[in-house]
Amino acid sequence: MINSERLKKEYESISNQLSQEDIIKDRDKYAEITKRFSYLEKIINLCNKKDSYLKEKENLSVMLSDTNEDREIHDLAREELSLLEIKIKDIDEKIEDKIFEKDEDDRDIIIEIRAAAGGEESALFAATLFKMYSKFGEIKNWKIEVLSSNDTEIGGYKEIIFSVKGRGAGSHLKFESGVHRVQRVPVTESGGRVHTSTVTVAVLIEPKEVELKINPDDLKIDTYRSSGAGGQHVNVTDSAVRMTHLPTGTVVCCQDERSQIKNRGKAFRVIKARIMEKIQREEYAKQIDKRRVQVGTGDRSEKIRTYNFPERRVTDHRINLTLYKLEAILEGDLEEIVKSLIKEERKKIYEAKGLV
């Protein structure tokens, strides 16, 4: 439960500051405080509304405990109490969403999926995960664009990189970084034995122009002829691009487009995202509090989820959540998992900020 008293004290403190002459004279400071005041005011109004609901709930509870009241009055009180519980739950969600409005900046992201242990079976599951995220993106009305891919002859991916744009993309998919484990009978297995394979997923924030500028002189760009499994996508011109950021050694290859210019553009987006991730990881290492509130480490080597086909089970190991609806999840029904992860992270942030 949110500790609204702390927020109310901050609101009162800022309210007093707005009348101070030195604050009024400092335009930047005044604008900053006014913005915070407006943000807190919306939360406080919701908290006051919740308080009124709680008082009403208390009165109804007293009425129900009164044995002198007749049965009809008790029935009406129970009905009102039931409706009130729904209102309280709804306003709690609104307060929570408002509190995290600034923390959960909706950013466009780039997701990299790579086959790991398991050979061809791992590559096939990489394709399954790409389909899962694509379906989830359709449900959320997000735009998904493949930036680079390296496919196999039987429909898998050794690697696929794609961007996700749309409201909530970053805050919903940021938890997907890590190792995804699949347990199933591979299509290539004649004995019917269950194999375990792994796929790694990395979620990168796509930097805005003002956040990261790259010196063109720091880039080495090589071109070559694109190729694909079984001769697919083969081009007779040097349209494929290998881009290297010399200061960091970051390398990105793109060959999906027939146009060299388009491949260069996509490679540049990926390389910026990877450099941004490197900068953020270095920054996070210095800020222990940010690490403490993360759900998992966000490390690519951390096993985060298991997809068990024989049991139709999906388990997220970070929050000990197990769901027996594997088919639905692989068709993009990630909402329950995502909401549970968001809830757990918010709980950690509440504790870190002293809001509980």
Residue-wise pLDDT tens digits, 228-286: 554 444 455 678 888 899 888 888 888 878 788 888 888 888 888 888 888 777 766 65
Distance CA 12, CA 37 (A): 9
| Domain CATH for 310 | 3.30.70.1660
Q: Which of 52, 76, 102 is the last residue of a domain?
A: 102
Q: What tens digit of pLDDT does each residue of 95-143 get? A: 877 777 654 456 788 999 999 988 889 999 999 999 999 999 999 999 9
Tell me what pLDDT residue 288 has: 52
The pTM of the whole model exceeds 0.85: no
Residues 91 and 122 occupy one common structural domain: no
What are the DSSP E strand ranges found in the chain? 109-115, 143-151, 157-165, 178-184, 195-205, 219-224, 240-245, 250-254, 303-308, 313-316, 321-323
Pair 151, 76 in one domain: no
Task: Specify whether 93 is located in the same domain as 130.
Answer: no
* Inter-residue contact 186 to 121 (CB < 8 Å): yes
Non-local CB neighbours of 107 within 8 Å, separated by 6+ positions: 169, 170, 205, 206
35 and 134 assigned to the same domain? no
Considering the domain architecture, whether residues 29 and 121 belong to the same structural domain is answered as no
Judgement on whether residues 152 and 296 belong to the same structural domain of the protein: yes
Lowest pLDDT segment from 67-71, 106-110, 169-173, 245-249 = 67-71
94: domain range? Answer: 4-102
- Structure tokens belonging to residue 347: 């709980």
Q: If you average pLDDT over residues 330-349, what whole number do you get?
A: 90
Q: Are residues 265 and 279 in the same domain?
A: yes
Q: With contact defined as beta carbons under 8 Å apart, do 177 and 110 qualify?
A: no
